Amino acid sequence: MLASHSPVEDAAAFGIRLSRLNGHARLAAFGDIDVVSAPQLREALALLIDNHVQRLLVDLSEVTFIDSAGLEALLAAQRQLVANGGGLEIVACTRWVLRLLRVTELDRYLLAP
């Protein structure tokens, strides 16, 4: 028999830790970033942007899954930060997330050099 997870259980596995230092912000996400949890990610990103964060460092080293909804949230924040004269950089991620970024060619826009 296949095990299934309810969206509520999946959403509970997701979380965010935020920190600020010298006008920069660091967002560390953990768990699954999917269609259920992506709105929470978008809300956290919007809050940082609304609070005039110019440079946002994103740590995805504890993310176990990310789908197109999560990628879209990161790209939307990147576009908005660039328009405001700043930027978003993924500074840490799992091998799985790195592979996804490379396959989608989003590594060019989101990964720290």
pLDDT of residue 12: 45
Q: What is the pLDDT of residue 6?
A: 41
Domain spans in the chain, listed from the N-terminal domain onward: 7-110
Indicate the average pLDDT of the chain. Answer: 89
Look at residue 13 and tell me whether its pLDDT is greater than 90: no
Question: How far apart are the C-alpha atoms of 98 and 110, rounded to whole Å?
Answer: 10
Q: What is the pTM of this model?
A: 0.86
Scanning the structure block, which residue is given the tokens 């924040």? 77
Any idea which architecture 7-110 has in CATH?
2-Layer Sandwich (3.30)
Per-residue pLDDT tens digits for 16-59: 999 988 778 999 999 999 999 999 999 999 999 999 999 999 99
Residue 18 and residue 21: Cα distance in Å, rounded? 10
> pLDDT confidence of 7, banded at 50, 70, 90?
very low
Q: Determine contact, residues 74/42, Cβ cutoff 8 Å.
A: no
